Structure 1
Amino acid sequence: MDETSGQGRATLVRNGVEFAERDVVLLREIGETGSVARASSNLGRSRARDLSRIETLESAFGDLVERYRGGSDGGGSRLTKNAIQLVNQYERLQVVLSATARVPETVLEGTVETVTGELADVTTGIGTVRGLHDGAEPGDHVQIRIGADSITVLEPAADPDPDSTSARNRLSGTIDGIDRGKTVFTVRVDVDGTGFRALVTKDSADRLALVEGRDVVITWKATATWLAHEI
């Protein structure tokens, strides 16, 4: 488990090879110029190194750049459908990270158990968690990212039946610390050794009498849970 805050950059990983922003920039430029050589020149990079990087990426992610000959321009390079999908996936992940860049996150790791439409059930060390996925399949290893602003803290006695609420994820834990701001508190909740962060207004914290050592229940919606997997 880890918790993060601050500006984040997306990274997709397969077989130990990372696909990051630098690679997205290269593929975009190849798509626009129709040439690896022109793309490298425009970006001030080495063509040989870019070709080597493309080979490394293709060894993990599949064909990304298609070379062709002939035509009025004598040939060139174009992105494959796979490359376009990969760039789109990266950009969608980056949008999510940018939107939550200043919100503390809880990050879990687990294995996809089942997939139903846009949602996946993931087995973790603290139970099954449900969240939105982008092409995950059963057996995939994923990270589960939960923003502190999406978690609701409840008294155990007020814990609703899971079938009566849209917050399908719920866990029991104990408050192990509270960082008090002027109007918003960050409540730290321990769930079987895993730390969660939840943002709670001062009024709500006072109303719930939240103090260190108190047992609570945390809930959050599956649609507020993002799965980032090693594809």
Structure 2
Amino acid sequence: MGEPTESGPDAAAGRGRAALIEDGVEFDGRDAALLRAVDAAGSVAGAASALGRSRARALSRIESMESAFGTLVERRRGGTGGGGSRLSTAGRDLLDRYERLQAVVAASAQVPETVLGGTVTSVDGELAAVDTPVGRVRGLHDDAAVGDAVQVRIGADAVTVYKGDEKVDPNATSARNRRRGRVVGVDAGETVSTVRIGVDSVTFRALITAESAARLGLTEGEEVAIRWKATATRVVAHATESN
């Protein structure tokens, strides 16, 4: 089980993206929108309808979040006053925490990237698999084809750092890219710190809040695991440089 941490916005792609991570469960903008909709509609069904999602899928997502973050939505059965749902104190606190994180990372002027050179080995819909110096990496592509020389660009805001003994298979098929490495250094900021993680000959960068940096207690040379979503990874064709 990894330590809880926080990830910042996908600024490299021009979109604000913040995420809170607890026990491997991510709480991001879609989840915040779901909780806000429950608060506004007074029911999960009404929230799902407002967001264009199915009630079953909304309930399933709430249950997944509650497995990590605790009770977020209080359900009331029908009766003389009618049924419905409302946010718990923990749910409101989680929303407040997410909004504070989003404000912090949105204020960051620039988000560093890790850039890998590689060759496309397969394309499956919007995702491409690329052989890189750190193994096979998956990401969103723009008309890439098998055999193309590409850059794989990974925003530091998309990388999550975990401590523990989690086993990692770099070439396993997954919606997340996973690697193990060692902390090269931590560049502390007032509100956001940059962690540098060495994986083989490549240095990855991850943005975490000062709160998470203190909680993780990362030290130089310490072994850690990193993850980043394939959908937060950009594959850019016809690149020649890497780092």
Please indicate the TM-score interval, normalised by the length of the shorter structure: 0.5 to 0.7
| Match 1:142 to one of 122, 146, 150 | 150
Contact 2:169-2:178 within 8 A present in 1 as well: no
Pairing 1:219–2:213 present: no
String of CA shifts for 1:155-180, please: whole Å, max 9, x gaps.
13356899xx9752011000011100
| Gap runs ≥5 in structure 1 | 1-6, 8-99
Root-mean-square deviation over aligned CA pairs? 2.8
| Pair 168,140 (structure 1): closer, same or farther in 2 beyond 3 Å | same
Aligned to 1:156, the other structure's residue is in SS state coil
Matched, 1:118 2:126: yes
TM-score between both structures, scaled by the size of structure 2: 0.50
Aligned equivalent of 2:3? none
Conservation of the 8 A alpha-carbon contact between 1:110 and 1:144:
yes
Instruction: Report Cα offsets for 1:12-57 as digits up to 9, x if no partner.
Output: xxxxxxxxxxxxxxxxxxxxxxxxxxxxxxxxxxxxxxxxxxxxxx
Q: CA deviation at 1:125?
A: 1.2
Distance 1:193 1:128, change over 3 A: same
Q: Distance in 1 between matches of 2:133 and 2:211?
A: 33
**Higher Cα Rg: structure 1 or 2?**
1
Whether 1:200 and 2:208 are equivalent positions in the alignment is yes
Give the secondary-structure state (helix, strand or coil) at the position aligned to 1:139: coil
2:130 matches 1:129 = no
Aligned length: 133
Query: What letter corresponds to residue 116 of structure 2 in structure 1?
Result: L
Question: Residue 206 of structure 1: CA displacement?
Answer: 1.7
1:1-231 mapped onto 2 (5 Å cutoff):
102-157=110-165, 167-230=175-238
> What does the per-residue CA deviation read over 1:57-81, in whole Å, with 9 as the maximum and x for residues that have no partner?
xxxxxxxxxxxxxxxxxxxxxxxxx
Runs of 4+ in 1 over 4 A off after TM superposition: 158-162
Identity percentage over the alignment?
57
Q: Which runs of 5+ in 2 are unaligned?
A: 1-11, 13-107
Q: CA deviation at 1:205?
A: 1.5
TM-score computed with the length of structure 1 as normaliser: 0.53
Q: Retained in 2: the 8 A contact 1:171–1:191?
A: yes
| Residues 78-118 of structure 1: per-residue CA shift (max 9 Å, x gap) | xxxxxxxxxxxxxxxxxxxxxx9821000000000000000
